[in-house]
Structures are given as structure tokens and as C-alpha cells.
């Protein structure tokens, strides 16, 4: 259980196989410590992330970010595509930069924004191994990008890195690549040479109720920051300052990589498989004296059960019963929160009011929603279910559609609304700008109402699933398994 999994070899998507050398060469970069992006794009992006969060997630929370004086490099797990860096950025105030897959800065629309945010492209070994690009060009781009990010970090900016190198769908942390850690050592050397505060690595755990679901819950957990030492000589640091990439000592890179891996490992599920992790979650709920609804509290209590399992204190028979109960609930689209403390399925007799409230909200919002946010929502659903990027890309498309409502979809649709009001309803020309601007909060409120109504309707549907399960022959197996787990947990207390 303590051995480190190997680093993943990315499966190249169609987009990753397209190398646009012209756009890669034209990506803004800067080795002076100045941020290569646009401050206007950054503030607009902050507004976009806020809108996206409110529309896509039902509950979104984060720990307070530890205070540090120098640059902050958030390092985290990676199972949810572009959503992972965006939830980290949303939970922090500092302007950020990042090293990202090359096509993030060359794609239509998305590429314009990532370049404006100062994201730096990386050509990975996988692209070189398959002959999509050559090592000379990749080396030139990568050195330029790493120096840009290092200089930004040294100057106090934030960065987000995912050392696993690619998004995956596993319940364990995969082996880390060394690139991000080489970058942070260079940042430490540059900060010291400039007499600036020391940068820190910031381990961050990303937790999801179900990361592939629309309106799921998530929490960003911040662990203790790690100061980054300067392993370079003064001559080497000056070479970095002059724009020449110098590799840090390999032994210190490996030591830092392995240290961060050990720290971040415990902030992941770190279970043999998702079935086992769901069994731990169920046991955590059953072990609690009171209902656990907060996601982060659930994570912490599940870690306690994981530790008991690691120490061999949970018999295999108990784990099998917990796995059986968790699987029955999961197959019915339910989870441990749907059980009472006594081990019965939750019953809410007034759930019909959730249906009435939710349906009313959705009906009220529908006319505006259909003519403002529905087109991009439909596009996100269609693209998310047909992408070759993996299941995690579904939520990425959902979040992207919500975010790009503000700068792209709503302005186009708002113009159509304004022209229609002017031509058909004789809106005075003088009031057309005011009318256009007023449409944005109306579109946003309609989308929020639709999302909240969706939640209420889903609450009703969840109650119906619980009722259906009580009539299902599987209910007997569920309650027998729960009884067995509870008897063991009483003895464990």
C-alpha cells in the first residue's frame, strides 16, 4: 500500500495530437517576473468563474488559504479535467499562471482566454514519443514556459500544477512527474536573487461528492505550505535571471517530489478502488452519532475509517457488508446520507413540496432561460457526452458553458433581445444600452432559479428512489448488511 504508483502515460486525444507551432510560438511570455497575461482578462475571468461555480455546483466550499509572503504554487490531484485548476483559482485571490497542455492555448475561443490569462504551454513526452512534435521544438517551448512560470512565482504570483501530468479516474494518487518541481526550484533561486520573499508549495486536496455529476458538491482543502529552498549556485541563478534554463540538482528534485507525494497522498481517497472507498464512506456515516451532510466532514471521518482499515482493525467480513450496502445505495443513485442514524432509509413525507417548489421555479424561469442560457447548456451536454477526453471532461464542458455565458453567449443573445425590443416593441433608441446591460442580471437570475429548481426537483426524485428501494427485494440485503456493520462499529467505539 505504501509503494508509489507509476506516473501515467497520457492517452492523446484528437485535440492533443494537433500541434499549432505558429500559435505556440506567439504565446505571450516574460522572463522579467512580470505577468504575461492581461489584467482585464483576469478580472473578467474572476467574474466568469464565480458565475460558473454558482450554476454548476450545489455546494462549493474551501479552506482559508494559508498566508505566505512569496509566490504560491498549488499542487493537487487531478481527476476532473479543467475543473480542477478552476476550483483552486476560485478559492484564492492572487493572480495565477500555470503550465498546461499545449492545446489549451491553441484551441479556438478557449485558447484566446488561456493566452490572456498567461497560461504557458508544455509539450509532453507523450507527444514527442508519438512523433507529433520533435524534441528540439518541444525543448524550446518547454524551457521558455518553465522560465516564465518560475519568474512569475518568484515575483509573488500564484501558480497551479498537477504533477500527475494528466487527468485520470482512479481512487489513488499516481506517480508524479518532475517538471513542476524543477520549475519551483528555479522560482526559489530567482526570488532569492531579487531579494523577494521565499515561494512555497501549497498542497491542495480536491474533494467531490461525485465529480461527473451536474450540481455536485466540492471542497478545496489546503494543507500546510512547504517552503522551497534554493539549490542553485549564484552563477546558475544569474543564468536563470538572464533567460537561460538551468536544471536543478536531480537529487533535490526527486526528494521534493517524493515529499510532496507523501503529503498529498493522504488528501486523496487512497483506496484500492472506488467500491472500497464508498464502503469507507458508509462506515464513516454509520460510525457518527449524528447525520453528516457536510462534504468535508464526511472526508475527515472517512479518513478515520481508512486508518482503521490500514491498521487491520476492520475485518474483511465487515468491509464486505459495508461494500454490499454501499453498492446497493450507489446503484439506486443514493448514498450513506439517505440512511437514518438508526439504519433505516430516510423518509420525508413533505417531499411533494420540493417538487412543487422546484417545478414552479423552473417554469417561472423557463421563458428567459430558454432564450438566454439554454443554447450553451445544450451545447455543453452534447459535447460533454461525445468528447474523447474522458468522463471528467463532461463537467469541464458544463463549467465552460456556464463561464462563457458572460463574455460570449449572453452578449450575442442580449443584442438579439435589444434589436427585437427596438424593432417590434418600439424601445426608444436612447434606452437600448440600458436595456442591454439590464439583461445580464436577468439572464443570470433565470439561470440561478433554474438550477435551484433543478435541486428541489432532484430532492423529490431522491425521496422517490428511497421509497422504491424499500419495496425492492434488495432492501433486505441492505438492512442486513447495515445491521452487521453497525454491530461492529458499536464494538469499535
pTM (2 decimals)? 0.91
Q: Quick check: is 11 in a domain?
A: no
Same domain? 248 vs 358: no
Neighbour count for residue 281 (Cβ, 10 Å): 26
Q: What is the pLDDT along the chain (493 residues), one digit of tens a residue?
A: 445 566 666 667 777 788 888 999 999 999 999 999 999 999 999 999 999 999 999 999 999 999 998 999 999 998 888 899 999 999 999 999 988 888 889 988 888 999 999 999 988 877 887 778 888 888 899 899 999 999 999 999 999 999 988 888 889 999 998 888 999 999 999 999 999 999 999 999 999 999 888 899 999 999 999 999 999 999 999 999 999 999 999 999 999 999 999 999 999 999 999 999 999 999 999 999 788 999 999 999 999 999 999 999 999 999 999 999 999 999 999 999 999 999 999 998 888 999 999 999 999 999 999 999 999 988 888 877 766 666 767 788 888 889 999 999 999 999 999 999 999 999 999 999 999 999 999 999 999 999 999 999 999 999 999 999 999 999 999 999 999 999 998 876 6
pLDDT of residue 180: 85
Last residue of a domain, one of 265, 290, 315: 265
Identify which of 1, 2, 6, 3 has the alpha carbon closest to the alpha carbon of residue 175: 6
Q: Cα separations (Å) of 214 from 2, 31, 84, 337, 416?
A: 34, 40, 15, 18, 29
Residues 207 and 325 in one domain: no
Query: Does 287 lie in the same domain as 250?
Result: no
Give CA–CA dist 418/415, Å, rounded: 5
Residue 182 lies in a domain: yes
Domain match, 293 and 258 both: no
Q: Are residues 284 and 305 in the same domain?
A: yes
* pLDDT given for residue 169 in this prediction: 87
Task: Quote the pLDDT of residue 1.
Answer: 42
**Domain-embedded: residue 345:** no
Task: Say yes or no: 304 and 434 in one domain.
Answer: no
Residue 184's domain spans which residues?
A: 21-265
Cα(406)–Cα(398) distance, rounded to whole angstroms? 14
Query: Vertex 221, ends 216 and 222: CA angle to 5°?
Result: 155
Decide if 337 is inside a domain: no
Examine the fold and report which residue of 265, 284, 304 is the final residue of a domain before the chain moves on: 265
Where b means 16+ CB within 10 Å and e means fewer, 36-56 reads: bbbeebbeebeebbebbbbbb
Q: Which of 265, 290, 323 is the last residue of a domain?
A: 265
* pLDDT of the residue at 2: 47
Examine the domain organization and report whether 222 and 143 are in the same domain: yes
Domain assignment present for 340: no
Cell 443570470: give the residue: 444
Indicate whether 311 and 416 sit together in one domain: no
Domain CATH for 42: 3.40.1130.10
288 and 164 in a common domain:
no
The candidate with the shortest Cα–Cα distance to 403, out of 87, 63, 37, is 87
Is the residue at 482 inside a domain?
A: yes
Task: Please indicate, yes or no, whether residues 34 and 150 belong to a single structural domain of this protein.
Answer: yes
Q: What is the reported pLDDT for 4?
A: 59
Please state the domain count of the chain.
Answer: 3
387 in the same domain as 478: no
Residue 45 lies inside a defined structural domain of this protein: yes
Residue 140 and residue 248 in one domain: yes
Q: Would 40 be classed as within a structural domain?
A: yes
Amino acid at each position: 500500500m505504501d509503494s508509489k504508483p507509476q506516473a501515467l502515460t497520457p492517452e492523446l486525444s484528437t485535440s492533443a495530437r494537433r500541434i499549432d507551432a505558429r500559435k505556440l510560438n506567439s504565446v505571450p511570455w516574460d522572463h522579467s517576473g512580470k505577468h504575461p497575461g492581461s489584467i482585464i482578462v483576469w478580472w473578467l475571468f474572476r467574474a466568469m468563474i464565480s458565475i460558473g461555480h454558482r450554476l454548476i455546483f450545489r455546494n462549493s466550499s474551501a479552506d482559508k488559504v494559508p498566508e505566505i509572503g512569496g509566490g504560491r504554487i498549488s499542487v493537487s490531484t487531478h481527476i476532473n479535467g479543467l475543473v480542477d485548476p478552476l476550483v483552486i483559482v476560485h478559492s484564492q485571490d492572487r493572480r495565477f499562471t500555470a503550465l498546461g497542455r499545449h492545446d489549451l492555448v491553441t484551441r479556438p475561443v478557449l485558447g484566446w482566454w488561456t493566452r490572456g490569462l498567461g497560461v504557458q504551454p508544455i509539450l509532453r513526452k507523450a507527444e514527442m514519443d508519438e512523433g507529433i512534435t520533435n524534441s528540439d521544438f518541444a525543448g524550446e517551448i518547454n524551457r521558455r514556459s518553465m522560465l516564465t512560470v518560475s519568474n512569475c512565482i518568484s515575483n509573488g504570483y500564484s501558480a497551479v500544477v498537477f504533477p500527475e501530468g494528466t487527468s485520470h479516474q482512479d481512487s489513488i494518487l499516481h506517480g508524479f512527474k518532475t517538471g513542476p518541481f524543477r520549475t519551483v526550484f528555479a522560482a526559489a533561486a530567482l526570488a532569492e536573487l531579487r531579494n523577494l520573499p521565499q515561494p512555497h508549495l501549497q498542497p491542495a486536496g480536491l474533494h467531490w461528492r461525485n465529480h461527473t455529476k451536474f450540481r455536485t458538491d466540492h471542497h478545496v482543502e489546503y494543507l500546510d505550505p512547504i517552503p522551497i529552498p534554493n539549490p542553485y549556485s549564484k552563477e546558475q541563478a544569474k543564468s536563470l535571471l538572464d533567460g537561460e534554463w538551468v536544471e536543478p540538482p536531480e537529487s533535490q528534485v526527486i526528494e521534493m517530489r517524493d515529499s510532496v507525494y507523501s503529503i498529498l497522498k493522504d488528501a486523496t481517497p487512497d483506496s484500492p478502488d472506488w467500491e472500497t472507498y464508498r464502503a469507507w464512506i458508509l462506515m464513516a456515516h454509520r460510525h457518527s452519532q449524528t447525520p453528516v451532510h457536510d462534504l468535508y466532514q464526511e472526508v475527515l471521518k472517512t479518513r478515520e475509517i481508512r486508518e482503521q482499515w490500514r491498521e487491520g482493525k476492520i475485518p474483511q467480513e465487515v468491509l464486505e457488508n459495508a461494500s454490499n450496502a454501499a453498492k446497493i445505495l450507489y446503484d439506486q443513485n443514493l448514498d450513506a446520507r439517505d440512511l437514518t442514524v438508526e439504519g433505516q432509509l430516510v423518509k420525508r413525507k413533505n417531499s411533494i413540496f420540493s417538487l412543487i417548489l422546484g417545478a414552479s421555479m423552473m417554469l417561472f424561469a423557463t421563458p428567459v432561460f430558454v432564450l438566454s442560457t439554454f443554447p450553451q447548456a445544450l451545447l455543453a451536454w452534447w459535447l460533454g457526452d461525445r468528447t474523447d477526453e474522458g468522463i471528467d471532461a463532461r463537467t469541464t464542458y458544463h463549467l465552460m458553458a456556464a463561464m462563457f455565458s458572460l463574455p460570449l453567449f449572453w452578449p450575442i443573445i442580449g443584442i438579439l433581445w435589444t434589436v427585437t425590443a427596438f424593432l417590434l416593441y418600439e424601445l426608444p433608441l436612447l434606452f437600448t444600452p440600458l436595456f442591454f446591460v439590464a439583461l445580464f442580471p436577468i439572464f443570470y437570475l433565470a439561470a440561478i432559479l433554474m438550477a435551484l429548481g433543478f435541486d428541489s426537483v432532484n430532492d423529490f426524485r431522491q425521496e422517490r428512489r428511497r421509497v422504491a428501494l424499500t419495496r425492492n427485494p434488495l432492501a433486505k440485503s441492505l438492512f442486513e448488511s447495515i445491521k452487521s456493520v453497525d454491530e461492529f462499529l458499536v464494538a469499535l467505539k
